[in-house]
Amino acid sequence: MFPVARAAQSLVARGIQHTAVRQAHRKHEPTFHDKYGTMFLLGGAAMFSAVWGYVLTQLNIEWGFSPIGRITPREWRE
């Protein structure tokens, strides 16, 4: 039984080696991410920055300041 198991193991190993050699010699075709990945990343970063830059500059937010003692009530308009 031992020689049969050894022969089976060598056949499996040889098949794996053939598969590895076949894949190593195949031409690498660029995928979508290889072609456009950096462009989409930079475009997304620019869009993110533009939207948040607009939001942060157009909203009148006082960051981290406490309104206690600084807000005085306005006169009521009738």
Domain boundaries along the sequence of the chain: 1-58
CATH domain 1-58 topology:
Cytochrome C Oxidase; Chain K (4.10.51)
Q: Rounded CA gap, 59 and 61, in Å?
A: 6
Per-residue burial over 45-77, b = 16 or more CB atoms within 10 Å of its CB, e = otherwise: eeeeeeeeeeeeeeeeeeeeeeeeeeeeeeeee
The tens digit of pLDDT for each residue in 7-42 reads 777 767 777 777 777 666 666 788 888 888 899 999
pTM for the whole structure? 0.42
Structural Rg of the chain based on CA atoms:
33
**Which percentage of the chain shows pLDDT scores above 90?**
19
